Amino acid sequence: MKYLIILIVLASFASIIYGFNIQEEQLMLANKYIGFGTVGLFLVAMPLFLIKYSKGKNMKDYMLNEENILKMQGKEKKKKDEKQ
């Protein structure tokens, strides 16, 4: 999977660079190469990367909520009974 992601990223960058190189001679074809390179990066390679490297992780640990803010500040969460 790792090598597939690297291959897609390199092919996408190559497509974008090639699109910019032929932009003056063939504008429509250059726009297609640039577009397909961008789609390859953001709609194929990035989701594959995120699926591979976020497998087994708890997304709740990465969300910014009151409990995690207090944990970052080094404070413990106060119980509702103590406030009253």
pLDDT score recorded for residue 45? 95
**How far apart are the C-alpha atoms of 71 and 62, rounded to whole Å?**
12
Give SS3 for 17: helix
Task: Band the pLDDT of 81: cuts 50, 70, 90.
Answer: very low
**How far apart are the C-alpha atoms of 67 and 77, rounded to whole Å?**
7
The pLDDT tens digits for 38-75 are: 999 999 999 999 999 888 888 787 788 888 888 888 87
**How far apart are the C-alpha atoms of 71 and 75, rounded to whole Å?**
6
The pLDDT tens digits for 13-35 are: 999 999 999 999 999 999 999 99
